[in-house]
Amino acid sequence: MRVLFATCLLLLPTIGVAAERPNIVFMLSDDQAWNGLSVAMHPQLAGSKGDIFHTPNLEKLAVQGMRFSAGYAPASVCSPTRISLMTGKSPAALHWTKAAPPETGHKLIEPRNIRSIPANETTIGDVLRQAGYATAHYGKWHIGGGGPEQHGFDKSDGDTGNENAYQFKDPNPVDIFGMADRAAAFMDRSSKAKKPFFIQLSWNALHASENANQATLAKYERQLKGENRKRITTAAITEDLDTGVGRVLEAIDQLGLTETTYVIYMADNGAGGGKKVLAGGKGGVWEGGIRVPFIVRGPGVKPNSWCHTRVVGYDLFPTFCEWAGIAPGKLPKGIEGGSIASLLKTEGRGDVKRSREELVFHFPHYQGDAPHSAIFLGDLKLLHFYEDNRDELYDLSKDIGERDDLAGQRPAETKKLRERLDKYLAQVDAQFPTLNPNFDPNQPVEPKKRGGKNKPGKPATK
C-alpha cells in the first residue's frame, strides 16, 4: 500500500520549484493546559492564560500569528494524539484511545488498544517526503512501529518514549535545547539544498519537570514560595520550554526563512484549565482534557489575529498537504480532518470542511473519569457515560466551564446528538468497554483522580 501511494504521489504534476513551497515547523508540547502559557487563549477570558507562567517567546509567536481559542488535541492523552496527528484520523477510528495500561476492578472492562503504529499507515511524513520535502522528527515519538524513520522521516531521535526525557538535565533539561539545535541544523542543511522542509518537534516537556535548569527552578522557588513542588517545577520547565521555542524561532529568522515558514504550536492533551475556567483534565474529554494552546504563524497569516472556529489536531494533516500543493484527492483514504488553511487566509472567519460536520472524542477507559465519549455540533457538546448510559449536554457558547447540564431541559437535542454519536462510532468501528462479569460492587477500587467530576462550582463525587 505504501509503495502504491508513493508511486501515485510521484505522478503528481510539479508544483513550482521547491523554494516556492512553504517550510513547516510543527511544535507539540506534552501535558500542557489551555491556560498553561502566559499567552491568553481567549480574548475575553482572563483565566485563559496562566498566572504563574512566563513564556515570552510564545507571547511573541502569538502576536505574530493567529490564536485558535477553540483548538483541540485529538485525545486527552498523549499516544492517541500522536498517532492521530501522524495519520489524520481520529483515535476512535485508529483503535488507539489510551496511553496508560488499563485499570482493573471496575464495572466495565476497558477495550484493548493497538500499541504500535501499523506499517501500512500512511503518515504525514510519508506524504510530504514523497512530495519533495525534507522531513525530520525530533523528540518524543511514543507510537512504536520502529520509529519515525520507518514512517516517512529522513531524520529523527529514534523510537523514543517518555523515558527519553529523564536522562537530560541542566544545562539541557529534557533535551529541549538539544532538540532546538538539531532542528536548526536540519533547517540550515535543507535551505542550502534548496529543499522545503517539514520538522516536527515533539517536546518531552512538560514531563520530568524536576529536570528544569537549576537557575529557572531557583527563580520559581522564590516567586512561588509556599506552593507545592509540582507547581513550582511545572512553571520552571514551562519557561525552559519557551526558551527552546525561542531558539527555534531565532534560527528561522537567522536563516532568512521567516516569510516562507509556517510555525504551529499546540499541546498533545490538556492538563486542566484552572477551577474557574475549564472542567476536567488529562484522561477525560471535558474541556480541560482536550482544549489546548493552538497558535499558527506564517505566510498570509494576519498578526495578532484570532479564530474561534473549532479546530482539532488531525486537521493539520490536510492543512500541511494543502500548503505543500498536494491535491485533496491524492490524500490517503480515511482522513477525517479538514484543512484550516482558509481560516488563516480569512482572519479566522469560516468553517472547516471535514468528512463529517460533528467532532467526536472517544475515551472508553478509566482515567480522568469513567469511560465516556463527547460529540460537538455547533455550540452544543454532549457527553455520554458508559457505566450508567447517562448523557449530559452543554452549550459552550454560554458555559465553557461545563457547569450547567441541559440534558433534562433540552431532551430532543440530547437525543439527536446521542444518535449522531452512536452512528459515528459505529461507522469507524470504534471499540467500547464491556461488562466485567467479576465486578464486585462491595470491593472498593483504589480511588483515582476524577478530572471530569471535579467541575468548577460542583463538589467532587465518584
CATH of the domain at 151: 3.40.720.10
pLDDT at res. 153: 98
Which residue has cell 514512517?
Answer: 151
Which residue has cell 465486578?
Answer: 439
| 236 and 202 belong to one structural domain | yes
| 404 and 322 belong to one structural domain | no
On whether residue 456 sits in a domain, the answer given is no
pLDDT at res. 10: 43
| 12 and 57 belong to one structural domain | yes
- The residue-averaged pLDDT of 371-395 equals 97
Find the CATH number of the domain harbouring 413.
3.30.1120.10
pLDDT at position 448 over 90: no
- The residue-averaged pLDDT of 84-113 equals 95
| 322 and 376 belong to one structural domain | no
| 402 and 253 belong to one structural domain | no
pLDDT in tens, 366-376: 998 999 999 99
Of 1-15, 64-78, 172-186, the one with minimum mean pLDDT is 1-15
Integer CA distances (angstroms), 67 to 50, 161, 258, 347, 408, in order: 16, 29, 18, 10, 35
On whether residue 459 sits in a domain, the answer given is no
On whether residue 333 sits in a domain, the answer given is yes
- The residue-averaged pLDDT of 182-206 equals 97
Band of pLDDT at residue 445, cut at 50, 70 and 90:
confident
Helix (H, G, I), strand (E, B) or coil at 33: coil
| 257 and 370 belong to one structural domain | no
Band of pLDDT at residue 127, cut at 50, 70 and 90:
very high
Which residue has cell 520559581?
Answer: 220
Integer CA distances (angstroms), 247 to 32, 62, 129, 187, 215, in order: 20, 16, 25, 13, 18
Of 53-62, 218-227, 349-358, 447-456, the one with minimum mean pLDDT is 447-456
Indicate the number of domains in the chain: 2
List CB contacts of 338: < 8 A, sequence separation 6 or more.
315, 318, 352, 353, 354, 355
Confidence (pTM): 0.92
Band of pLDDT at residue 462, cut at 50, 70 and 90:
very low
Band of pLDDT at residue 452, cut at 50, 70 and 90:
very low
Mean confidence (pLDDT) of the chain: 92
345, 372, 392 — which closes off a domain?
A: 345
Domain of 62 in residue numbering reads as: 2-345
On whether residue 444 sits in a domain, the answer given is no
On whether residue 429 sits in a domain, the answer given is yes
Q: What are the two backbone dihedrals, phi and then psi, of residue 296, each rounded to the nearest 5 degrees?
A: -135, 130
pLDDT at position 449 over 60: no
pLDDT in tens, 344-374: 999 999 999 999 999 999 999 999 899 999 9
User: Phi/psi zone of residue 325: left (φ > 0), alpha (ψ -120 to 50 degrees), beta?
Assistant: left
Q: Element (H or E) spanning 265, and its range?
A: strand 261-267
On whether residue 282 sits in a domain, the answer given is yes
| 129 and 57 belong to one structural domain | yes
- The residue-averaged pLDDT of 95-100 equals 94
Q: How many other C-beta atoms lie within 10 A of the C-beta of residue 355? A: 10
Band of pLDDT at residue 275, cut at 50, 70 and 90:
low
| 258 and 363 belong to one structural domain | no
pLDDT at res. 460: 31
| 156 and 275 belong to one structural domain | yes
Q: Element (H or E) spanning 394, and its range?
A: strand 390-395
292, 315, 345 — which closes off a domain?
A: 345
- The residue-averaged pLDDT of 378-382 equals 97
pLDDT at res. 368: 80
On whether residue 240 sits in a domain, the answer given is yes
| 229 and 370 belong to one structural domain | no
| 234 and 364 belong to one structural domain | no
On whether residue 440 sits in a domain, the answer given is no
- The residue-averaged pLDDT of 111-117 equals 94
Q: What percent of the chain has pLDDT over 90?
A: 86
The number of CA neighbours under 13 Å toward the Cβ of 443 is 7
| 89 and 179 belong to one structural domain | yes
